[in-house]
Structure 1
């Protein structure tokens, strides 16, 4: 690196990995109620299991058949560091662990004593960590429940911002291993910073992708010592690597950036859906961060699963966003944390929408539409599909919504008219209930029960029903984790005999018979009009 005041830019392939207690940050391990449960019920037992037999975890982590399983992929020679991490969690996160234990105790108390009569006498019996943070209630069938007052939990000792840190490194093009179950220990060539996710230095760093700054300013903004500053220098370049066609001068354009990420543009507005974007620009077979417009007016988040609300991409884009549009939750449900509160707490400008709310912009509108299924039959309401109308065209952003009740899509068409393009996920044999929600379950479920409740989107028939009811002219199916830069989060493995791919082929055949343009997307695609 040159002089401290020479202009520099952040390299295109710079990666940020947001961490909580060194685990990769997904919403359910940051939002405080769910984070407490996952810390107590998933991460602590996982680390304890690893320390009992590291070799079992290593063997499982390297077994392709077990890809995506919850195993710790750390060499036994570093097990002492894992032990130190576990000891620190038990010592420093005592409030969170006590909160999780209190939830279990309170649920048991409700099961025993809430029998349809007045709940007032049960408040004094609540474990003290819950005092002031919950409300007890019955549904109309006299089934008791506990509602968490989430805004207050974010101000309580349960939301420990000291858990947060980041790792910065360069994408070397090698697919990262599954990351959700393995803590990220310090590594050579990786810049570890004890910064909270809303630290302004991170926005200063990522602004340097599009606007020149200086090494000295970045060092000061990130509060680096000499050793850290030397590592920062490896992330910087003397020139940007932005794509010259990242903006458009007329008409409309949609670009597919992989998985469920679309960039919808006119000369006046840019909208990004579920951003999960490659940082490796060497191949020419994909759009990367280099291809994003300098200003993003709206980011649409369809739901809270870790492949749709990807904090590592969101943090890299926060400084150039107008607002994040998110579906409103049911307020205080254990399985349904508020996406809005989560993002606001880490520095994002948020617009929350209910079904059929609209966000107008010059020349178009964004409309939130219902999202069915895909959450293992849990009462999760923070999920939304979207209709985006711009430059005279309309697109249905279907994410992983299921066509289990086709009549819903008839109502959507009646309200918003015919859809030109429909984008759908067809992960129709998704992971079982316990893969995504084990840490939140307060009552055990059998394997048979868990396997029957899956994180599944539409199969061929359901996707066809969606298309028929929307009267859409074109159908596009997301790649659903097949792209190479997503394995660390997705851990999907498909082959020609995979049920999901056969269902997609069946759906594409149906589209051909109906005269509908259809395609299974992969890596990149562009539409102009």
Structure 2
């Protein structure tokens, strides 16, 4: 807390978490209706279970292999704090409980309409919280359904900025961060929490200080008069020492860098593009294994998002990049489906210039183009349109980044290859045994889903046969396997544990061997990687 007259940088080991009602914010938690369903049917349920039997939760999270489970990860002596969060839902935000229940009531109303005749009379029976916020329609088989008027909902009382807050901590004092989908973030001795929404100017100012230092007086002015919780003082987040590693500009050719998990950075001298950024803060235990914020370009021309899951549309990272980002390209949305909230509308709430891309849409960039490529699978057979793989052509180099695409129909890739041609680099996600789809979407259901359905419909990426077939079609000169959640510093939102017998490891080994047999350099990515494409 010294250096009162000098310049201060945001420390490289500072981590940031956007919160909603003290829970880690991810894309399905923030839209009003899907958020209400998750708050009531996931958060309140897990917290109520912890209140009833805290010992069971404490014992469960201590067991190996329980990462990603629905057991709340905090000490028994915090039961009163968890109880207060449940009471906050039931008392201060009882309207969200009613909104969540209204989804069930609307589903029941529509299920009861079986005649196939006009549904116009149903509008006056729509539950009051949703009235005026839905359009009811029929499919060609005369089954009724509805779409949410999302733009209007973001203007309504159902969208509560008052539920937003943020938390900062220091990686080297916090240890393993609890799994985000099962544990709220309480004020602790090792964090600092601010009751602000995500549009507060303090956030861009603080994150800009990772590269451009602030005077100590400027730091003090940013935090002056603000209510803070937790045991970390705001000055502890800053240091007089500049970042040890900085961005190195590209002078010639194309640079491709792996940023961890599903993230890539593509750069030329004229354009910088990031795909699915999940940027790791630089903790002491893995300081040499990551490309962190200080090594990113001063300006990011485009961020491309493959889909709406928390490990790809990562709000935590996006808010930290907002101050240096020009545009975000997101997949085209279904328009009002409960299972497919709009990424464009969500990011628009936080000041991003988000542009929707339909299948095979193109954006011209200096020296080339960006093309959104159809994406099949990994969404439990739900009608989720907000997903796209990405093709980049820069200075004649051609890169396909497929993320979690599952090759359910090779014919589609033949059609794509007929138009795009062969590629220099192909990267494909091979988390081939994903969680049951209810892991992310269960809270949206208003009827019980059978175990048989859960086990059948998983969030699977490509296995060996599927990934290898894509490679046979695109004929890449180099292959990368990624988006596996292998890096331990991402465990707090991935919840994955692998060993040599895991299907994902076995299938990727098959892919590496097949590429070797065909004299194609291939690598299972981990941590970071830099490839210069002259």
Q: Could you say which residue in structure 2 is the equivalent of 1:232?
A: 234
How far does residue 4 in structure 1 lie from its aligned partner after superposition?
A: 5.2
In structure 2, C-alpha distance between the alignment counterparts of 1:378 and 1:226, rounded to whole Å: 42
| Other-structure match for 2:141 | 141
Shift of 1:98: 1.0
Instruction: Tell me the number of residue pairs that the alignment of Structure 1 and Structure 2 aligns.
Output: 529
CA distance in 1, matches of 2:146, 2:244: 50
Following the alignment from structure 1 to structure 2, what is the Cα–Cα distance between the partners of residues 331 and 5? 52
| Distance in 1 of aligned mates of 2:56 and 2:532 | 51
Match of 2:433 in 1: 429
Deviations 1:465-503 (A, max 9, x none): 111112222110015111121000011111111111111
Deviation of residue 511 (structure 1)? 1.5
Equivalent position of 2:485 in the other structure:
481
Q: 1-side partners of 2:149 and 2:14: how far apart?
A: 38
1:461 is matched with which residue? Answer: 465
Q: Deviations over 1:157-176 (max 9, x none)?
A: 21111110001111217332
Contact residue 172 and residue 283 of structure 2 kept, 8 A: no
Instruction: Supply the distance in 1 between the matched residues of 2:178 and 2:131 (Cα, whole angstroms).
Output: 41
Offset at 1:513? 2.2
Call closer, same or farther: CA 1:242–1:249 in 2, change over 3 Å.
farther
Within 2, Cα distance between the matches of 1:478 and 1:215?
41
- The equivalent residue for 1:150 is 150
Change (3 A) 1:516 1:226: closer
Structure 2 runs not aligned, ≥5 long: none
- Whether the 8 Å CA contact 1:60–1:66 is kept in 2: the answer is yes
- Determine the structure 2 residue equivalent to 1:389: 393
Rounded to whole Å, the distance in 1 between the matches of 2:227 and 2:161 is 25
Aligned 1:41-80 pairs, distance under 5 A: 41-80=41-80
Q: Distance in 2 between matches of 1:456 and 1:198?
A: 35
> Structure 2 CA distance, aligned partners of 1:141 and 1:272?
42
In structure 2, what is the Cα distance between the partners aligned to 1:515 and 1:230? Answer: 53
1:43 alignment partner, SS class = helix
Q: Secondary structure at the match of 1:257?
A: strand
In structure 2, what is the equivalent of residue 516 of structure 1?
520
Conservation of the 8 A alpha-carbon contact between 1:210 and 1:242? no
1:438 partnered with 2:439: no
Is it true that 1:448 corresponds to 2:449 in the alignment?
Answer: no
Partner of 1:213: 214
Three-state SS of the structure 2 residue aligned to 1:218 is helix
Please give the alpha-carbon distance, in whole angstroms, between the structure 2 residues aligned to 1:224 and 1:10. 20
Match of 2:27 in 1: 27
Are positions 1:194 and 2:187 aligned together?
Answer: no
Give the equivalent residue in structure 2 for 1:306: 310
Correspondence for 1:84? 84
**1:5: Cα distance to partner?**
5.4
Q: State the Cα deviation string for residues 43-70 of structure 1 (Å, max 9, x = none).
A: 1111111111111111112222322111
* 1:216-252 deviations in Å (ceiling 9; x for gaps): 3233334545977981111111232052453222211
1:391, CA displacement in angstroms? Answer: 2.4
Give yes or no for the alignment of 1:340 onto 2:341.
no
Query: Which residue does the alignment assign to 1:247?
Result: 249
Gapped runs of 5+ residues in structure 1? Answer: none
Of 126-135 and 170-179, the range deviating more from structure 2? 170-179
TM-score, normalising length from structure 2? 0.96
| Secondary structure class of the residue paired with 1:423 | strand
Aligned to 1:257: 259
SS of structure 1 residue aligned to 2:179? coil
Q: Which residue of 2 aligns with 1:374?
A: 378
Q: Is the 8 A contact 1:374 1:456 kept in 2?
A: yes
1:7 to partner: Cα distance: 2.0
Q: Distance in 1 between matches of 2:487 and 2:28?
A: 24
Residue of structure 2 in register with 1:269 after alignment? 271
Q: How does 1:292-331 map to 2 (within 5 A)?
A: 292-331=296-335
1:12 Cα shift?
1.3
The answer to whether structure 1 residue 405 and structure 2 residue 406 are counterparts is no
Q: What's the CA shift for 1:329?
A: 0.9
**Using the alignment, how far apart are the partners of 1:226 and 1:127 within structure 2?**
38
1:340 to 1:222, Cα distance in 2 relative to 1, 3 A:
farther
Report the counterpart of residue 354 of structure 2 in structure 1.
Answer: 350
* Rounded Cα–Cα distance in structure 1 between residues aligned with 2:39 and 2:19: 13
Q: Is the 8 A contact 1:376 1:433 kept in 2?
A: yes
SS at match of 2:158: coil
The CA deviation at 1:444 is 1.7
Q: How far apart are the structure 2 equivalents of 1:209 and 1:108?
A: 51
Give, in angstroms, the shift of residue 374 of structure 1. 0.3
Distance 1:62 1:164 in 2: 30
Give me the CA root mean square deviation: 1.7
Contact 2:190 2:232 in 1 (8 A): no
